[in-house]
Structure 1
C-alpha cells in the first residue's frame, strides 16, 4: 500500500470518529440552514477549507520531519513516532478515568467554534470557517500528522495530509447535508476503537524504524549511511 493510499484510508475510516466528535458542533452551527444549491456549495467550500488546513499542518510538521531525514535520524524518528503513538493509545484507553482530559479538549474547541460561527454566515465565509475547523483538537488528525512527519519531504507530508483530508470528505460532507440525522448516532462508542488504531499505527512505525527490509511493513530506511528512497 502506498503512503498516500494509507493516508486516504486512514481518513476514510477515521472520518467516523471525526463525525461523531465534531457532529454536535456542526449541528449547533448549521441547524438553522435550509438545504439549497448555494448552501451545498458553501458546505463544499467548508470541507475544502478544512482539507487545506490539514495540508498546511502537514507541510509545517513535514519541514521538521525532513530535517530529521536529512540528518540521518529518520530511522530513530520513526521508532520515536511509534512509541509516541503507542503511549497516546494507552492513554486513550484510560481517558474515561481522567475526565479532565475531556474537559480540556472541550475548552480547547470553544475559541475555534466561536470564530467558525462568525465566519460561517458571512458571504463566502464558509471556506474560512472550514480552515478553522481543521485546527480543532482531534485524535485522528494527530495520528495523521505523526504519520506525515515520516514522509521523505515536506511536500509529501503536505500531500499525505491532503489525502487524509480527502478520505474524510465523503462522510463529513454527507453528514453536513443530513442536519436532520438522529442525534442517537452520537451515542455510538467509536471512540473506544481509537486507542487500538493508535496502537496499530505505533507498532507499524516501530517496525518501519527497525529497518527489517520487509516491503511496506519495514522497508530499508538507511543503507551505508545514506537515506534510502524506498
Structure 2
C-alpha cells in the first residue's frame, strides 16, 4: 500500500507546482542574489533544495511516528486519519481553485511558528559556498504552506515513521520541476503555471484524487489494510 502513497505524494508535488511557483519563486530568485557574483547559481539552488527536502522528510518522519503512537493507543482511528488526510487534500483543491479559502487559516496558524523560525535563515546568507545553502533551505522548508500540510497529513495517516518520511520526500521531489523552472528564468513556464486555467485544472485533478482516496477508505478491498 505504501507504493500508492509514494506515487500519490509525488503526483501531488508535481500538480502543486502552480502553488509552489507563487509561494517559492521569490525565494528561488533571492538565491541568485545570495550567491557569490560571477558564479553559477545552480550548485546553490541544488543545495537549497537538498535542505528543503531534508526538512520535509524530517517532518514526515515525525508525523509518521506520531500517527504510529496514536494508532497504538487507538487502532480504530486509522480510517479516521485517512479520511482527514483526504479532506485536507479536498481543501487544498478548493484553495487552488479559489472555490473556498479556508485553508488560509491553517497557513496563518503555521505563520505564527514561522515568524520565530524565519530569522534563522539570515544567519546563512550571503553564501560563501554551496553547502551553506543547505541549512538555509532547511529553514525555508518550514515555510507555512497548505500543500505541505495536506501532504503531511498523509504521512500522519501512514502511521509509520519511515513511510511518513518517504511520503514527504516524494512530495518534495515532485515540487522540484516547477522550482527549477523558476530558478532557470523560464518566465513563460512560470506564467503558464500561474494562469487561472492551470490552477483550475490542477484543482480538479486534486479533487478527483481526494475523492478516490475517500472511496478507498469507505470501501476497502478485502484483505487490504486501509492505508493510502
With the shorter chain as reference, the TM-score category is 0.7 to 0.9
Corresponding residue of 2:221: 213
Higher helix share goes to which structure?
2
CA distance in 2: counterparts of 1:88 and 1:94, whole angstroms = 9
**Which of 173, 179, 195 pairs up with 1:172?**
179
Matches within 5 A, 1:93-108: 93-95=99-101, 104=108
The equivalent of 1:226 in structure 2 is none
For 1:67 and 1:105, the matched residues in 2 are separated by: 24
TM-score under structure 1 length normalisation = 0.73
Q: 1:42-61, aligned counterparts within 5 Å?
A: 42-61=44-63
Alpha-carbon deviations, 1:99-124, whole Å to 9, x = none? x8699489666666554344241333
Q: Which ranges of structure 1 fall in alignment gaps of 5 or more residues?
A: 223-228
Question: In 1, distance between residues paired with 2:177 and 2:190?
Answer: 21
Q: TM-score, normalised by structure 2?
A: 0.74
Relative to structure 1, the CA distance from residue 85 to residue 171 in structure 2 (aligned partners, 3 Å threshold; closer, same or farther) is closer
Q: How much does 1:184 deviate?
A: 7.8
Deviations 1:133-170 (A, max 9, x none): 21111122112111222225110110111111111123
Contact 2:10-2:171 at 8 Å conserved across structures: yes
Moved more, 107-116 or 13-22: 107-116
Q: Any unmatched runs of 5+ in structure 2?
A: none
Q: Which of 127, 130, 134 matches 1:122?
A: 127
| 8 Å CA contact 2:60, 2:164 repeated in 1 | yes
In the aligned structure 1, how far is the partner of 2:183 from the partner of 2:18? 13
| Cα shift at 1:12 | 1.7
2:17 aligned to 6, 15, 18, which one?
15
Instruction: Check the 8 A contact 2:107/2:144 in 1, yes or no.
Output: no
